[in-house]
Amino acid sequence: MAWDDDFDPGSDDDAPAVTLACPGCGVEVYEESEQCPSCGEWILRNHSPWSGHSTWWVVLGVAGVAATIAVLSGAFG
What tens digit of pLDDT does each residue of 58-72 get?
899 899 999 999 999
Give how far Cα 49 sits from Cα of 30, 54, 57, 65, 70, Å: 23, 12, 12, 15, 23
pLDDT tens digits, residue range 23-57? 889 899 998 888 899 999 888 776 666 667 788 88
- Whether the pLDDT of residue 1 is over 60: the answer is no
